[in-house]
Amino acid sequence: MKFAFLIFKYFPYGGMQRDMLRTANELVKRGHQVEVFALSWDGDTPDGIKVHVLPQKGWFNYQRYQKFINAAFEQIKTGGFDYIFGYNRMAGLDAHFAADPCFVERAHKQRHFLYRFLPRFKWFAACEKAIFSHASKTEILAVSLTEKPHFQHWYGTQDARFHYIPPFLSPGRFVLQDKRAMRAHLRNAFGFGADDFVYLLTGSGFSMKGLDRAILALAALPESLRSNTRLVAVGQDNPKKFQQMAKKFGLEKHIVISKGRPDIPQLMQGADVCVHPAYRENTGLVILEGMACGAPMLVTASCGYAHHVADADAGIVSELPFDQAAFNRQFLEMRQTDKKPQWSANGLKYAQRIMQANDGSAEAKILIELALRKKAGTS
């Protein structure tokens, strides 16, 4: 069968992007064809997979996204595709990879009501409705079911359209290396002292990942501890707002904000703590990745995968509703506690069970089954 994959932006360090490429490669390995349509592509083109990069212009992102969707479907119409799979929300998909929280729920709970009158809101809300409405036939591949009640509240989405994908961690990506060597690697990479205590935050979209919360917690540390404490944030985003925040608190020498890097597992293995204080996240794969690297975890309960930290006893989960003062105390506790070695061992053991449970083919198997159902006219 021939599959069309659609994604707005591809870059090699994004969790969703890596998932897309893994699934596409798995389908090709099973004898199927995959062509990827992307608005932008940063990185190498994979062997055996045709990539269509369709750049567009527009004053606003959503205008560029719509032009890309129109251009992609123009090519798809004549391409002889059996199944259309989208990693971003848009009309016309046979199936959608649901990695993000419910947009309309967030707009009502986290935004001023005037936001809902903006063209941007209306466009994204319409795209979400095209996927999740009761009248839609789009199948939903869900990496977490924490957002399912919100989608069903707003759209009445049928249970049968949700297909759960268990977490995947690549054993090849998370090969444990000498801890002392990884500590030195991280500190040398960013010019830190050998004995500096390092918190590591990874993930694109620093605003949603809660980098501001981590900066505030670092600023609240006692000076005696803060003097040799560092915070590293690695991901795809504009750092200016957070650099200004660091300057405001006099933390310029304590905080490094870096673009995406290929050595994230090594950095995680060298960090003293992995921190992920996201405002809201459907999953938060970096939580499991940090555990797989033996890092003690400090995360917020608003992440779908936060429960893994609690289940494994691999660190601290900051409960909801979020309280910055309480988080500051937990940030300090991570600095001082002697529980870190046990949390590290617990997280490693838990993550290794996950690696053994899912070989990374679950998503491809579901897509093949759904495509066969469509071809047989039983979907």
- Whether 183 and 93 map to the same domain: the answer is no
For residue 111, the enclosing domain spans: 2-166+359-376
State the pLDDT at residue 172: 83
Residue 82 belongs to a domain:
yes
Q: How far apart are CA 144 and CA 139, in angstroms?
A: 15
- Whether 117 and 214 map to the same domain: the answer is no
Residue 158 belongs to a domain:
yes
- Whether 162 and 37 map to the same domain: the answer is yes
286: CATH: 3.40.50.2000
Between helices 240-248 and 211-219, what is the axis angle to 10°? 10
The residues pairing with 162 across neighbouring beta strands, listed in sequence order, are 140
- Whether 219 and 340 map to the same domain: the answer is yes
* Number of domains the chain is built from: 2
315, 321, 322, 326 alpha-carbon torsion, rounded to 10°: -70
Phi, then psi, of 276 in degrees rounded to 5: -145, 75
The residues pairing with 361 across neighbouring beta strands, listed in sequence order, are none
Residue 367 belongs to a domain:
yes
- Whether 190 and 156 map to the same domain: the answer is no
pLDDT tens digits for range 18-43: 999 999 999 999 999 999 999 999 99
CA–CA distances in Å: residue 336 to residues 183, 232, 266, 273, 361 = 18, 19, 23, 11, 41
**The model's pTM:** 0.89
State the pLDDT at residue 142: 95
Residue 172 belongs to a domain:
no
The residues pairing with 224 across neighbouring beta strands, listed in sequence order, are none
- Whether 283 and 191 map to the same domain: the answer is yes
Residue 67 belongs to a domain:
yes
Q: What is the pLDDT along the chain (379 residues), one digit of tens a residue?
A: 999 999 999 998 888 999 999 999 999 999 999 999 999 999 999 999 999 999 999 999 999 999 999 999 999 999 999 999 999 999 999 999 999 999 999 999 989 999 999 999 999 999 999 999 999 999 999 988 899 999 999 999 999 999 999 999 988 888 999 999 999 999 999 999 999 999 999 998 899 999 999 999 999 999 999 999 999 999 989 999 999 999 999 999 999 999 989 999 999 999 999 999 999 888 999 999 999 999 999 999 999 999 999 999 999 999 999 999 999 999 999 999 999 999 999 999 999 999 988 889 999 999 999 999 999 986 5
Structure tokens at 87: 């990693």
- Whether 194 and 137 map to the same domain: the answer is no
- Whether 122 and 235 map to the same domain: the answer is no
State the pLDDT at residue 169: 92
- Whether 116 and 101 map to the same domain: the answer is yes
Q: How far apart are CA 110 and CA 359, in angstroms?
A: 37
- Whether 153 and 242 map to the same domain: the answer is no
Q: Is the Cβ–Cβ distance between 284 and 304 less than 8 Å?
A: yes
Structure tokens at 258: 């870096």
- Whether 23 and 118 map to the same domain: the answer is yes
Q: Is the Cβ–Cβ distance between 292 and 312 less than 8 Å?
A: no
State the pLDDT at residue 280: 87
- Whether 99 and 15 map to the same domain: the answer is yes
The residues pairing with 366 across neighbouring beta strands, listed in sequence order, are none
Q: Is the Cβ–Cβ distance between 98 and 147 less than 8 Å?
A: yes
Residue 21 belongs to a domain:
yes
State the pLDDT at residue 216: 98
3-state secondary structure the chain: CEEEEEEEEECCCCHHHHHHHHHHHHHHHCCCEEEEEEEEECCCCCCCCEEEECCCCCCCHHHHHHHHHHHHHHHHHCCCCCEEEECCCCCCCCEEEECCCCHHHHHHHHCCHHHHHCHHHHHHHHHHHHHHCCCCCCEEEECCCCCHHHHHHHHCCCHHHEEECCCCCCCCCCCCCCHHHHHHHHHHHHCCCCCCEEEEEECCCHHHHCHHHHHHHHHCCCHHHHCCEEEEEECCCCCHHHHHHHHHCCCCCCEEEECCCCCHHHHHHHCCEEEECCCCECCCHHHHHHHHCCCCEEEECCECCHHHHHHHCCEEEECCCCCHHHHHHHHHHHHHCCCHHHHHHHHHHHHHHHHHHCCCCHHHHHHHHHHHHHHHCCC
Residue 171 belongs to a domain:
no
Residue 23 belongs to a domain:
yes
Q: Is the Cβ–Cβ distance between 285 and 38 less than 8 Å?
A: no
pLDDT tens digits for range 146-194: 999 999 999 999 999 999 999 999 888 889 999 999 999 999 999 999 9
Structure tokens at 206: 């620093």
